[in-house]
Amino acid sequence: MLNYFNPGNTIKIISKLQKFIFALFIAVLILGLAEALVLSPEDYKQSDSVRIMYVHVPAAWISLGIFTVISILSFGILIFKNKNFSLITKSLAPSGFVFNIIALVTGSIWGKPTWGTWWAWDARITSMLLLAIFYLMFMMSWKIVDQENKAIKLSSYIAIFGLINVPIIKFSVDWWSTLHQPSSVNVLKETTIHTSMLVPLGIMTAAFALFSLLIFLMKYNTELLKIKNKGLDRL
Amino acid sequence: MYGKKVKLRAFFIILVFISALLITFLVINSLKENVVYFKSPTEIKNLTQIDKKKIRIGGMVKKDSIEVNSKNLKFIVTDFKNEIIVSYDGAVPNLFEEEKGVVAEGYLQDRKFLKADKILAKHDENYMPPEVKEAISDN
């Protein structure tokens, strides 16, 4: 177990894993795009603009998921001073942030033809913008604080405060009247999206998850290499 | 087992988190009125006074209520309990339809009449191909 955390070994394993995940990502992405753009039917009401949803929804899910993982690990960082966790959260943040921006932008593009506006200050959209700001603060804390220990502390506090926003985003459409529609894919309630549209949504989510994993592994490997180059052989 | 320091840190951080959670809850609770994007006709009816401020109302476009007069558009927004007449000059979004969700932004003339300067169509959570929709409507 201790050996596993030796950066030298981990770097080798990750390098091999990266190639495999990249190949898998390309395969799943091609399948997902074919389903989403060509094979899936148009919607009865929005016709072809429904296809924006196959990018918008997975991007939003992934950005929320990544932030939740960062926040939970941040508790571990603050309580147990786990150095490895802080490398993981630092490496996770950029892809989460990019997907957050993608969700906001695609939502805006969808909103114009559907709602008739690019932007609305409703609870869902505003809380999603707040998530992007939390991501930005998290990543900036590494840049503006010179001492590493302090940067880790600051970023972790930002992450646990941001965690409060996550359920607000999820339930904003149920708690308040919003322009944004309630969720269509539900575990406890009935799912209100037809199977022929649910399949491409699922595949695109898998593709985005693989992409995040790939970017994460690249970033994480870089962090490990930095440690190795400093001449430390263990974390 | 974990040392005393770790336990103390865990206690402190959970305390910080719970306080932040409480503050957020209190702030959102006191902002309730402003967090909602639009008000329903029933909420408008129960208003104690009508301000001159811009307001958003939302609900369903009542069936057979859309009237077009040259440039002016008139329709009724309903929440199936109360209704508001909306008057609007201009183009509406593609998804504006009878018996579908709508949000109208404008100024209240009285509790039953809103002069809108912006109309937004609200989309619901149902996604399906046209054939499925037809099959459902036939039943």
Residue-wise DSSP of A34-91 = IIIIIISPPBTTTBGGGGGHHHHHHHHHHHHHHHHHHHHHHHHHHHH--HHHHHHHHH
- Calpha distance B59→B116 (Å, rounded): 14
Q: Which chain B residue has the Cα nearest residue A120? A: B37
Q: Is a pLDDT exceeding 70 seen at residue B49?
A: yes
The confidence band for A187, taking pLDDT boundaries of 50, 70 and 90, is: confident
Contact A50 B127 (CB under 8 A): yes
Provide the CA A226 distance to its chain's centre, in angstroms: 24
Tell whether B11 and B59 lie within a shared domain.
no
Contact A114 B124 (CB under 8 A): no
Q: What are phi and psi of B71, to 5 degrees?
A: -95, -20
Tell whether B86 and B27 lie within a shared domain.
no
Give the Cβ contact number of residue B27 at 10 Å: 9
Tell whether B103 and B81 lie within a shared domain.
yes
pLDDT of amino acid B86: 93
Q: Which chain A residues are closer than 8 Å to B128 by Cβ?
A: 43-44, 193-194, 197
Q: Is a pLDDT exceeding 60 seen at residue A233?
A: no
Tell whether B16 and B79 lie within a shared domain.
no
Q: Is residue A138 part of a domain?
A: yes
Tell whether B91 and B65 lie within a shared domain.
yes
Average pLDDT over residues B105-114: 89
In angstroms, how far is the first alpha carbon of chain B from the final one?
Answer: 65
Q: Is a pLDDT exceeding 50 seen at residue A155?
A: yes
CB interface of B with A, residues 5-44, below 8 Å: 6, 9-10, 13, 16-17, 20-21, 24, 28, 35-40
Average pLDDT over residues B57-86: 89
Q: Which chain A residue has the Cα nearest residue B95? A: A114
pTM of the model: 0.90
Tell whether B16 and B81 lie within a shared domain.
no
Contact A178 B37 (CB under 8 A): yes
Query: What SS3 class is residue B40?
Result: coil
pLDDT of amino acid A5: 62
Q: Is residue A123 part of a domain?
A: yes
Contact B112, B73 (CB under 8 A): no
Torsion of CA A126, A130, A135, A140, to 10 degrees: 130
- Calpha distance B82→A116 (Å, rounded): 25
Within chain A, what is the greatest distance between any pair of CA atoms?
A: 61
For residue B65, what is the DSSP state?
-
- Calpha distance B13→A68 (Å, rounded): 17
Mean pLDDT of all residues belonging to chain A = 91
Domain span including residue A96: 51-200
Tell whether B13 and B79 lie within a shared domain.
no
Average pLDDT over residues B66-72: 85
Q: Is residue A39 part of a domain?
A: no
Tell whether B45 and B30 lie within a shared domain.
no
Q: Is residue B129 part of a domain?
A: no
Q: Give the CATH number, domain containing residue B82.
A: 2.40.50.140
Domain count, chain B: 2
Tell whether B25 and B75 lie within a shared domain.
no
Token representation of residue B50: 């009508």
Q: Is residue A84 part of a domain?
A: yes
Q: What percent of chain B has pLDDT over 70?
A: 99
Domain count, chain A: 1
Q: Name which of A101, A100, A108, A98 is nearest A179 in CA terms.
A: A108
Domain span including residue B30: 1-35
Q: Is residue B139 part of a domain?
A: no
Token representation of residue A44: 């009865």
Q: Which chain A residue has the Cα nearest residue B39? A: A177
Tell whether B67 and B92 lie within a shared domain.
yes
Tens digits of per-residue pLDDT, A51-104?
Answer: 999 999 999 999 999 999 999 999 999 999 988 999 999 999 999 999 999 999
Q: Is residue A41 part of a domain?
A: no
Tell whether B50 and B107 lie within a shared domain.
yes
Residue B93 falls in which region: left (phi positive, over 0), alpha (psi -120 to 50) or beta? beta
Tell whether B15 and B70 lie within a shared domain.
no
Q: Is residue A33 part of a domain?
A: no
Q: Is residue B126 part of a domain?
A: no
Query: What SS3 class is residue B123?
Result: coil
Give the Cβ contact number of residue A91 at 10 Å: 20
